[in-house]
Structure formats: structure tokens, C-alpha cells
Amino acid sequence: MIIPMTNLPRHTKIVLALLGLLPLYFLIAAIGTKIGIWGWKFGLLMVGGGAILVLLTAIIALVSLIIAIRSRPRRNGLVAVAIMGLLIPAVAGAMFASAAAKGAANPIHDISTDTGNPPAFSAETIAAREAAGANPLDDYQTPLGKIALYKQSGVSPELAVKSHAQIITARPDRPAPLPLGGASKAEGVAAVAAAMGAAGLTDIRSDPATGIVEGIAGTFWFGFKDDVVARVGDAQIDFRSVSRVGVSDLGANTARIIDLRARTEAILGSAAR
């Protein structure tokens, strides 16, 4: 039986209101950032504030659960609402914890298959990054402790002495270059461009003369943009993916390169058959 809202105690009404507010709050934070109502820093600040809202919901739900259990006669519907008010914040808390763990495991946002000579972006891409106020492209051999962005974020002493090259090389899932095999350089360029399109990248640009292929990847909710470049040489293809904003990429760039490499390999294999 559905209990009218007018018959619900105040603590249950508050729990229901908070449960309705939580998804709306995070939706506003994401969409507002994506369409440019506010900047990405404010959007992430809102997400941090959402963690406080999640905790508040859990506390009020716990109080509501105690009251509902102690009340006589017990109303099972009120108990169920309070339990839901605990479960949903628990799931949200697990997601926050997972994001924090990913951030710790992925301290940088610039990943390449060639750490000695990472593929370079075109002047057009660099100009677009500068216009968007993106993070600067850092030297792969410079320790993080000497890079302004990581100094400001309070990089740990253990990471401060390590460079991008060292961090990428130590990754268990380090993406590797893709051998061209019997394919030509032109076929490699075409395959990479097709793979980028299949992966959902936009603004894909190819320069067959230099073997450079570029594209832009974007996140669904917040609309964060990452710049992707592939360098097709005579023997292999190297990939690089760099986030425009933030410190950690939560593993997104590594995953993207691995996916793009696999797609390119499959296209080259199909073309050879």
C-alpha cells in the first residue's frame, strides 16, 4: 500500500527529498560544466560538495532508520525508505572511493607509447589547447616535482622524483607501439583515422606526408576533452593521449590508447586479408 506523503514523518520526508536531490545535483554539475555555464574547476568543486551531500543523506537516513525501528507500531515502509537512504549513499561512496583509488594509480594525464620521443601535436592542436586554457605539455624526462601543475596539487615525495617516462614505463598495462608489419605508411595513416572515427573521436585530421593523425576525445557527462595523436612511421605506429584539464586522468588515456591500438590493428589485419 502506498502511504500518502502527508502521513509520512518529517525524517522520512527529508530522506526522500535528499534521495531525489542527489542525482539532480550531480546531473546539474555535469551538464553545467559540459555546456559551459561554469568552468571545469567549479564543476569538480561541485562534485566534491556532492560528497558532503551524500554523507549528510547517509547520516539522516541512519537517524531515520533508528526512529522507524523504535516506533510502535512499526511501519515497514518507513524502514525501507531509511534503508534505501543508506544504500544509495553507500553506492555513491564506493564510487568516490574507486575514483580516488584510480587517481592514486594514475597520477598523470599524458600517456604515450614512446616515452623517449612522444608523438608531437600539430600547431593547430597546440593553439586549440592554449585557447581552451589547457594544461601545458610537459617534458617526459622532467621529474613531477619540478612541474608547476604537480607542485600545486601537492605531489607526494615518492612521485616528485619520477618523470612521465618513468611512471609510464612502470605501468603494468603500459600501451605498446603497433608494428606496421606488411602495411604501408599510407595504409597505417588510413587505419588510424578510421579507428579514431570508430572510437568516437571528433575533428580527426590526417597528414599522410608526416604520418600524423590527430583527433579529440570527449567525456559524455562533463564534456572534458583529451587530445589524441598518432605517429605512423616506417615500421610502427606510436600513440599519445593527453587530457586538457585535471591532474590525474583516472586511467582514461591509457585505456583509450589500448583501445585505439586494438582497433587500428584489426583494421590493418582486415585490409591485409
Higher pLDDT, 20 or 223: 20
DSSP letter string, 62-78? HHHHHHHHHSSS--HHH
* pLDDT tens by residue, 125-145: 999 999 999 999 999 999 999
Q: pLDDT at position 270, please?
A: 67
Read off the pLDDT of each residue in 251-262 and give the average, rounded to a whole number: 98
C-alpha 20/C-alpha 22 separation (Å) is: 6
Q: pLDDT at position 41, please?
A: 87
Residue 40's pLDDT band, with cuts at 50, 70 and 90, is: confident
* pLDDT tens by residue, 93-123: 999 999 999 999 999 999 999 999 999 999 9
Give the dihedral sign, CA 104/105/107/108. Answer: negative
Q: pLDDT at position 74, please?
A: 83
Q: pLDDT at position 1, please?
A: 40
Q: pLDDT at position 112, please?
A: 98
Determine which helix (DSSP H) or strand (DSSP E) holds 270, and give its type and residue range. Answer: helix 252-272
pTM to 2 decimal places: 0.88
Read off the pLDDT of each residue in 165-191 and give the average, rounded to a whole number: 96
Cβ atoms of 236 and 177 closer than 8 Å: yes
Residue 246's pLDDT band, with cuts at 50, 70 and 90, is: very high
3-state secondary structure of 143: strand
The letter for the amino acid at 52 is: I
Residue 273's pLDDT band, with cuts at 50, 70 and 90, is: very low
Phi, psi of 25 (to 5 degrees): -60, -50
Crossing angle of the two packed helices 10-34 and 76-105, in degrees rounded to 10: 30
